Amino acid sequence: MTTSGIITDAEEMLSLLRADSVNRAVAYVRNADGDYERALVEVNSSCLPKRWLAWLPDEGTAHDLLRAAYDADCNADSAAWAALPLRYGPYCSTWVLPEHPRAPSRPGAEEDDEC
């Protein structure tokens, strides 16, 4: 696990997600100031955050990958979506690995959308 509590590198983020791909995701969680920030989290069986592991600021290659996954999903860009190692969903502002049991089956899928 990161020693700083902050992840900016995409490979580090993916490695930490792969360490427990069923029970980890990136999601928005409330910080100490009451604001929402993206974080690598442990999730429950419904893929909802239950424990914070590391913050993901709006900079670096991790941010770029999250943005690319979001854009591919929202634009229903099948080619970009298939080429990425991350999926946006199953909930708004949640990202999981493709092998996650709740990963969307296609870009723009609203099958589990709870926005």
Whether the CB-CB separation of 76 and 83 falls below 8 Å is answered with: no
- pLDDT per residue as tens digits for the range 8-34: 999 999 999 999 999 999 999 988 899
Q: What pLDDT score was predicted for residue 45?
A: 87
pTM, full prediction: 0.88
Question: With helix as H, strand as E and coil as C, how does 21-69 read?
Answer: CCCEEEEEEECCCCCEEEEEEEECCCCCEEEEEEECCCCHHHHHHHHHH
pLDDT lower than 50: segments of the chain: 112-115
